């Protein structure tokens, strides 16, 4: 089965909003053995949405359209899909009543524009929206299945995992199992990894190998298909056994999903019942922000301090002194420091793009590593220094 995703919204084309729905849908489909062959992004323009639907119909079996089903005048996705399928739109009574009940609770007058969020395809299927007003809708016609989903990511994700995935599994059981593994690599560039795996890449058929990189962290995605999950797993294990020795200490983790550096380090520290105190200079607290986002909820960070470059920590010796002072007042397993110049062209002590990281371990041993990064944007530099700091912490743990 070939799947195609169409995301609707002028704000996506203008770059005002980043599309995270397509990636989520594609990953979830892959888990049940359905591959995504095409993706389209189209603005809130009826003619172009119709053209996108025609194109998808000609080349795909499962078409998922995301966005454009809200209460405003330019939310026309359901209407256009219904016209394309030559079916009527009818109210889903449960969703319609939910909208009326919510309006009554806040003494709000309801208009047709709000009620249209409860429209669904006649003789189709309705997907419940537990966190919003606009229901999803599906319809199967002449070997093609269309599914319309809300645009807000949280609403869409909950609807998709709770209702759409079970529907697809029941209607279209797949003969092939598809499994993926992600190998996270740091300290090697994308080109270097590609050279190491060149002989495997040249003959790849099943599993497939894909390499991509962002901010010094390289991801190798392996995907295998087989009649059963167990057979797919064995194919992946055989390939991983060939790749792993080539990467040596640069291989950070092997995971069922793509992970970032902070995910990996938080998991490692938790597994070993260890924690961390951090001193950041010149990075604006980016490392601590990543370690304390809602996903991690301050699970391993016991203390953090942020200082500007003007604070006077410009050498590894000065950072060591600062970490030893920090250790006197804060008890932690590891003390991690990062010093970087992200945006100051005229800083004589630390040139732009340069800096260092240091680790003070529980035995009192201090180690540091100098970092010199080619010119990049400030955001890219922040992420790169964050990854380098956490990778160096990992290396000192292993040494």
What confidence tens digit (pLDDT) does each residue in 218-275 have?
899 999 988 888 999 999 999 999 999 999 888 888 988 777 788 888 888 888 888 9
Buried b / exposed e over 69-79, threshold 16 CB at 10 Å, is bbeeeebbbbb
Which of 255, 274, 304 terminates a domain? The answer is 255
Residues 247 and 384 in one domain: no
Domain extent for 126:
2-171
| Burial class of residue 123 (count of CB atoms within 10 Å of its CB; 0-12, 13-18, 19+) | exposed
Q: 0.85 cut: is pTM over it? A: no
Mean pLDDT of 148-169: 94
Residues 132 and 202 in one domain: no
Bond into 207 cis (ω within 30): yes
CATH number for 221? 3.30.70.2860
CATH number for 351? 3.90.950.20
Residues 160 and 12 in one domain: yes
Q: Is the pLDDT of residue 215 over 70?
A: no
Q: Is the pLDDT of residue 399 over 70?
A: no
pLDDT at 294: 52
What percentage of the chain has pLDDT greater than the value 70? 96
Residues 62 and 119 in one domain: yes
Query: 282: how many CB neighbours lie within 10 A of its CB?
Result: 25
Residues 233 and 294 in one domain: no
Residues 229 and 140 in one domain: no
Q: Is the pLDDT of residue 173 over 90?
A: no
CA 116/CA 108 separation, integer angstroms: 16
pLDDT at 128: 94
Q: Is the pLDDT of residue 178 over 70?
A: yes
CA 312/CA 318 separation, integer angstroms: 8
Residue 119's SS3 state is strand
Highest mean pLDDT among 6-20, 173-187, 380-394 belongs to: 6-20
Q: Is the pLDDT of residue 298 over 70?
A: no
Residue partners of 271: CB distance under 8 A and separation at least 6: none
Residues 159 and 216 in one domain: no
Beta-strand runs (E) in 247-353:
251-255, 276-281, 301-307, 334-340
What confidence tens digit (pLDDT) does each residue in 327-345 have?
999 999 999 999 999 888 8
Which of 193, 225, 255 terminates a domain? The answer is 255
pLDDT at 296: 53
Residues 164 and 206 in one domain: no
CATH number for 132? 3.40.980.10
Residues 386 and 363 in one domain: yes
pLDDT at 260: 77
Reading the block at residue 58, the tokens are 């000609």
In total, how many domains does the chain have? 3
Mean pLDDT of 272-297: 83
Which of 220, 255, 290 terminates a domain? The answer is 255
Residues 17 and 153 in one domain: yes
- Average pLDDT over all residues of the chain: 89
Residue 364's SS3 state is coil
Between 228 and 60, the higher pLDDT residue: 60
Residues 200 and 283 in one domain: no
Residues 151 and 199 in one domain: no
């Amino acid at each position: 089965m070939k799947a195609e995703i169409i995301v609707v919204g002028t704000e996506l084309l203008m770059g005002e909003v980043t599309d995270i729905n397509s990636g989520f849908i594609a990953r979830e489909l892959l888990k049940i053995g359905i591959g995504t062959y095409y993706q389209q992004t189209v603005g809130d323009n009826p003619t172009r949405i119709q053209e996108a639907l025609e194109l998808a119909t000609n080349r795909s079996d499962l078409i998922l359209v995301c966005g454009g089903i809200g209460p405003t005048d330019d939310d026309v996705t359901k209407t256009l899909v219904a016209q394309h399928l030559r079916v009527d739109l009818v109210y889903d009574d449960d969703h319609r009543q939910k909208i009326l009940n919510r309006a009554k609770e806040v003494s709000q007058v309801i208009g047709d524009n709000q009620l249209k969020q409860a429209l669904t395809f006649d003789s189709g299927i309705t997907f419940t929206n537990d966190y919003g007003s606009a229901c999803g809708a599906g319809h199967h016609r002449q070997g093609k299945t269309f599914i319309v989903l809300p645009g807000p990511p949280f609403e869409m994700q909950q609807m998709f995992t709770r209702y759409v995935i079970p529907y697809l599994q029941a209607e279209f059981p797949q003969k092939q199992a598809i499994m993926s593994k992600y190998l996270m690599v740091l300290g090697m560039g994308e080109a270097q990894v590609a050279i190491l795996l060149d002989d495997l890449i040249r003959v790849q058929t099943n599993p497939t190998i894909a390499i991509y990189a962002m901010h010094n962290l390289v991801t190798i995605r392996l995907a295998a298909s087989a009649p059963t999950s167990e057979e797919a797993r064995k194919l992946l294990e055989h390939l991983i056994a060939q790749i792993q020795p080539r990467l040596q200490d640069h291989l950070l983790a092997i995971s069922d999903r793509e992970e970032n550096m902070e995910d990996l380090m938080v998991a490692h520290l938790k597994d070993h019942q260890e924690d961390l105190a951090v001193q950041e200079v010149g990075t604006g607290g980016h490392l601590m922000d990543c370690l304390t986002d809602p996903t991690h909820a301050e699970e391993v960070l016991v203390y953090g301090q942020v200082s500007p470059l003007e604070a006077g920590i410009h050498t590894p010796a000065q950072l060591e002194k600062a970490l030893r002072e920090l250790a006197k007042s804060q008890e932690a397993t590891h003390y991690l420091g990062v010093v970087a110049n992200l945006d100051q062209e005229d800083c004589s002590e630390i040139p732009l793009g340069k800096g260092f990281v240091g680790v003070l371990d529980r035995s009192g041993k201090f180690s540091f590593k100098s970092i010199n990064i080619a010119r990049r944007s400030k955001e890219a530099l922040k992420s790169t220094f964050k990854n380098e700091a956490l990778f160096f912490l990992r290396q000192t743990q292993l040494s």
